[in-house]
Structure 1
Amino acid sequence: MAQRSGPPPQSPALDNVGVRSLADAWRSGVFKSPHQSALQVDGTSISYRELDERALSIAAAISQADPTGAPVAVLGQRSLDAYLGVLGAVLAGRTYVPLHPGFPVDRTSGMLRRSGAATLLVGPEADDVARPLLESHEGELTVLFPTRRLPEWSANSGTGPRLDARDIAATPHVETPMVSDESIAYLLFTSGSTGMPKGVGVSQANVSAYLSHAVSAYGYSPADRCSQMFDLTFDLSVHDLFATWMAGACLCVPTKRATIAPAKFIRDEEITAWFSVPSAAMLMDRMRTMKPGAYPSLRLSLFCGEALPATVAQKWSAAAPNSTVHNLYGPTEATIAITSYEWTANSGSGAAVPIGRPFPGHEVAIVDTSGCTVGEGQRGELCLAGPQVTPGYWNDPERTAASFVVLPHSSDRWYRTGDLVEWSPSDGLIFHGRIDDQVQVMGFRVELAEVDAVLRAALHTESVITVSYPAGPAAEALYAFAVRDSDQGGEAAALATCREVLPPYMVPKQVFFIDHLPLNSNGKIDRAALSKTLEGRANE
């Protein structure tokens, strides 16, 4: 089964500003709303004109310190520094590489090294990570502190120029360079089955195609107040930032506390456009804050990153009676999202909301193990083609060749998602999980094999397996099972090792020691049986 959806979108002329890059998307907002608030963060509201001036100074400082055109890493989260860092890199014509201050230093160090970044922007919230990161970094690295004086620790941490807010402000502005459609706009690292995160470089053409569709299809305008719920290391954050700014709207950044309980944030900030993983809505439901009529300001609600239960969509629709509800789907390799389904009261009665139809100009194919398309109503692997499909994995031709392929029925280049789907004439794509061991934990993509690899080393045994709970592609937590061995370390030591090398959402909550790992009829480890064991323990 293969489906194509309409002609490819043309980059629209928004107030005579053509959008072919992230820099163009930002300039569109500056042109539309120069005096309107572009960003509300940490209790401060900053206009488009002011944010533009400050970002242009950072861009000039980047260009002057490193004329090579190398990527720019941004180490920060939910701070003015972080957003200035992203914009500064974009306006300097560079690839931006977001790094999370909550991730282990060794993991972040590996990403920084593999990105080839020559400049690092550091927010104050990241100082505890930045210091050991710079001390362990080989070679020179220009470090910018966009809103403050140089911290004392920076003088003795690594080598290379150190620029503070005064140095940046004193740098004369330079013209924003032109970038090609093929140049990489941003680089993200996702979980990898070999134990090493995969780098995904998204081109200017990829992200421009997405933004051109999203801003038009969902009616973004300068009147909108948009949520920013995603970490900058999560590709859905690119929608948050640049769909908002392309429209000249206001990006509203919740505090860390508000991201856990965002109902008050929606009401207090009068959010009109919401975007989150379904887990956020499920948590709000459990906290009993998703009551009918609770969010009257919302006109648009988008969900992506994991399966959206139909019951959650129904409750959200009642809580936001003035809002449309859309379920989006898309891997990082296909730029943010590439299919959508609008949920209504008349939607089908399935347990999960369909992931719908591809965006205009894109094609989906459902194939069997040989790459041949399957019939309507049959399940197979989802493959994607079109202008949003990215070039491949960063400096990794072997992985790229395995996942970006030519199918027997087409000469186009396709991305093999590993997702199991079927096609419904009425609803489009129906998601049925994975064909491999990848899961989503609170919306984050996790290769269970990467967690297994860390635990095998920590426990000195090959007999270890990680499972998600609840079972299925959308999980709340991970648990591990290992065969008892007199020579292995204990649970506490194993989990401590995990915390040292894995981000928090990939650290198992518990390790269970058992006599043997169950096998299925094919002689493979039976993850389903272990998941049932967890369900039994939860019901005890």
Structure 2
Amino acid sequence: MSTPQTAYEWFARSAAAFGHDCVALEVGEERLTYADLRDLAERLAARLVAANGGDAPRRVGLLAGRSVTAYAGYLAILRTGAAVVPLNPEHPRARTADIVKAAGLDLAVADASGAESADPGIPLLVVGAEELDALRAGPPPECSHRESDPDDVAYLIFTSGSTGTPKGVPILHRNLSAYLGHLTTRYDVGPGSRLSQTFDLTFDGSVHDLFVAWASGGTLVVQQRSQLMSPVKTVNAQRLTHWFSVPSLITFASRLGTLRPGSMPTLRWSVFGGEPLHRAAAEEWQAAAPGSTLEVLYGPTELTVSCTAFRLPRDPADWPATPNGTVPIGTCHPSLDLLLLDENGRPADTGELCIRGPQRFPGYLEPANNTGRFVPFEKSGAVRDGGEAGPHDSAAAPPPDRHWYRTGDRATVQDGHLVHLGRTDHQVKIRGHRIELGEIEAMLREQPGVRDAVVLAVPAPDGEPELKAAVSGDDCVPQRLYAGLGDRLPPYMVPSRITVLGQLPLNANGKIDRNALLAELGRGH
């Protein structure tokens, strides 16, 4: 059987194989078989083409939450040959308007929640419960659709830019097919498998959820936002076999006191990504799901969901120890190449992680954002301009496939596996001393009562950076933490202030919001 070349083909192959025999999507009380979901997507695709004046759209926004419309709409957009541009109904209208303008959308599909928040300035096809019922009852669609090409854009996700303007990241069908070709065989997914859907569609972890499930006959089980605050209860109520989320959800379960040994017996696979997974959290989850294999996935949006993986041995006694207490991010997916570059742009065992291969995106939607993000390095030559684009590399031209994408993450090789050391800007210099913030964070998490910790370099009144920390936990006493750090670290690595918070702030994707913490810790001196 040939490998599908487009995202919709991955789903369509399973729809043909499993038809009405397997459930593809479960949202609350609604359950759609593969045949049901395919038929709904086909009918909605016809409506999209009609709403676009009878022409196949090029880019379509998806302004929907965790509803049947959202997932049928995702497939319908792909079926028309258009690129999916996820829009979050909970995001500010101004941000949505900026994305709509930057993406050049032809129209958008919205569910009831999206319609309430919509002000996109483009045609809007609202598909609520009544419209879904009408689509299901209507005659089969007659219009034909444009077939996608592997070099077409499958989805376009906007990430936060350093300038405050969202950056558009287009992922091609061939990028996604390269990813799925490896990941769909990794987790024993098949009929009867029940996979979580913890990520919003604006976060590319959701792409893993959708297509790893749908490529193999599994059931995508959608969690509502309130259910994510009680992971153990949700896993058991929904009888999940596969879990994929950011590590911060382990913290929620731990705070509730529900992460007890053996409390999640249905789980067979537990995968975490989006942030470093700390060893203590991994041990707690492993004990709660003793029949589950734990794995870490790492990768920026630009490299199609993930580019490395590390599978933890079943026995925590066999887990590797790392300098910052995090689980390794492992090794590259088989089709990818990696390179670590030191501060001088030379290969090293520790440095900035750079990746190339078939999962690498073709460059940002706005070509100016490509400048400095790609390394034209070959074994026979050196990096030009310290890793910036060389003289012949125009910002308007797509970076050649042979160029490496600079992730902005620092890593080191330990026992053949990569260990994530933080962002390149998480290594700071304080009074002449070069400091890894992750090392201090690891020491704080080892202190009694500390659940999580973040250390930041904050400008002092004299303009020089100083270290400040924020911690969360049930019994955190700053003076005791200072003493604990003083016993393990030199004075220049001990934060000048440790702030105790009930919960570290999270961004929309469930990651620790370092910008919010920087603003909080920067107030007052």
Equivalent residue, structure 1, for 2:338: 364
| Superposition deviation, residue 175 in structure 1 | 4.0
- 1:181-200 to structure 2, matched below 5 A, reads 181-200=150-169
Equivalent residue, structure 1, for 2:37: 51
Q: What is the identity, as a one-letter code, of the residue corresponding to 1:422? A: T
Equivalent residue, structure 1, for 2:374: 404
Per-residue CA deviations over 1:172-218 (Å, capped at 9, x if unaligned) read 24345322221110000001001101110000011111111111122
| Superposition deviation, residue 436 in structure 1 | 2.4
Does the alignment pair 1:425 with 2:415? yes
Equivalent residue, structure 2, for 1:24: 9
| Superposition deviation, residue 431 in structure 1 | 0.7
1 CA distance for matches of 2:306 and 2:65?
A: 22
Partner SS for 2:184: helix
Q: What is the identity, as a one-letter code, of the residue corresponding to 1:143? A: L
Q: What is the identity, as a one-letter code, of the residue corresponding to 1:390? A: F
The 1:244–1:85 alpha-carbon spacing in structure 2 relative to 1, beyond 3 Å, is: same
1 CA distance for matches of 2:357 and 2:67?
A: 35
Equivalent residue, structure 2, for 1:454: none
Give the alignment partner of residue 257 of structure 1, picking from 219, 222, 226: 226
Does the alignment pair 1:98 with 2:37? no
Contact 2:454 2:469 in 1 (8 A): no
The 1:534–1:241 alpha-carbon spacing in structure 2 relative to 1, beyond 3 Å, is: farther
Q: What is the identity, as a one-letter code, of the residue corresponding to 1:77? A: G
1 CA distance for matches of 2:229 and 2:193?
A: 23
Partner SS for 2:467: helix
The 1:142–1:477 alpha-carbon spacing in structure 2 relative to 1, beyond 3 Å, is: farther
The 1:348–1:425 alpha-carbon spacing in structure 2 relative to 1, beyond 3 Å, is: closer
- 1:70-219 to structure 2, matched below 5 A, reads 70-130=58-118, 133-134=119-120, 137=121, 141-148=122-129, 165=134, 169=138, 172-219=141-188
Per-residue CA deviations over 1:494-535 (Å, capped at 9, x if unaligned) read xxxxxxxxxxxxxxxxxxxxxx64533xxxxx2634763552
Contact 1:145 1:165 in 2 (8 A): no
Q: What is the identity, as a one-letter code, of the residue corresponding to 1:142? A: P
Contact 1:383 1:416 in 2 (8 A): yes
Equivalent residue, structure 1, for 2:264: 295
Does the alignment pair 1:41 with 2:27? yes
Contact 1:81 1:145 in 2 (8 A): no
Equivalent residue, structure 1, for 2:191: 222
Partner SS for 1:430: strand
| Number of residue pairs matched by the alignment | 433
Does the alignment pair 1:323 with 2:315? no
Q: What is the identity, as a one-letter code, of the residue corresponding to 1:370? A: N
The 1:361–1:338 alpha-carbon spacing in structure 2 relative to 1, beyond 3 Å, is: same
Q: Bigger CA drift: 331-340 or 247-256?
A: 247-256
The 1:143–1:538 alpha-carbon spacing in structure 2 relative to 1, beyond 3 Å, is: closer
Give the alignment partner of residue 240 of structure 1, picking from 200, 203, 209: 209
CA RMSD of aligned residues (A): 3.0
1 CA distance for matches of 2:463 and 2:441?
A: 17
2 CA distance for matches of 1:529 and 1:343?
A: 32
Equivalent residue, structure 1, for 2:356: 385
Does the alignment pair 1:519 with 2:463? yes
| Superposition deviation, residue 101 in structure 1 | 0.7
Contact 1:392 1:404 in 2 (8 A): no
Give the alignment partner of residue 424 of structure 2, picking from 410, 435, 449: 435
| Greater RCO (Cα-Cα under 8 Å, separation 6 or more) | 1
Q: What is the identity, as a one-letter code, of the residue corresponding to 1:18? A: T
Per-residue CA deviations over 1:71-128 (Å, capped at 9, x if unaligned) read 0100011011111211110111110000001110000110011111111111112233
1 CA distance for matches of 2:142 and 2:369?
A: 40
Partner SS for 1:267: helix
Per-residue CA deviations over 1:361-382 (Å, capped at 9, x if unaligned) read 11111002332101x3xx2100
The 1:410–1:96 alpha-carbon spacing in structure 2 relative to 1, beyond 3 Å, is: farther
2 CA distance for matches of 1:275 and 1:537?
A: 29
Q: What is the identity, as a one-letter code, of the residue corresponding to 2:367? A: P
Q: TM-score, normalised by structure 1?
A: 0.74
1 CA distance for matches of 2:243 and 2:136?
A: 37
Partner SS for 1:270: coil
2 CA distance for matches of 1:364 and 1:422?
A: 12
- 1:50-69 to structure 2, matched below 5 A, reads 50-66=36-52, 67=55, 69=57
The 1:476–1:425 alpha-carbon spacing in structure 2 relative to 1, beyond 3 Å, is: closer
Q: What is the identity, as a one-letter code, of the residue corresponding to 1:235? A: D
Per-residue CA deviations over 1:391-424 (Å, capped at 9, x if unaligned) read 1111x22211321231253682110001011112
2 CA distance for matches of 1:527 and 1:417?
A: 26
Equivalent residue, structure 1, for 2:329: 355
Partner SS for 1:199: strand
Partner SS for 1:207: helix
| Superposition deviation, residue 169 in structure 1 | 4.3
Per-residue CA deviations over 1:335-372 (Å, capped at 9, x if unaligned) read 00110001122111231100000001111110023321
| Superposition deviation, residue 228 in structure 1 | 0.4
Contact 2:455 2:469 in 1 (8 A): no
Contact 2:3 2:181 in 1 (8 A): no
Could you tell me the percent identity over the aligned residues?
A: 33
1 CA distance for matches of 2:257 and 2:328?
A: 25
Contact 1:61 1:171 in 2 (8 A): no
The 1:81–1:324 alpha-carbon spacing in structure 2 relative to 1, beyond 3 Å, is: same
Q: What is the identity, as a one-letter code, of the residue corresponding to 1:146? A: V
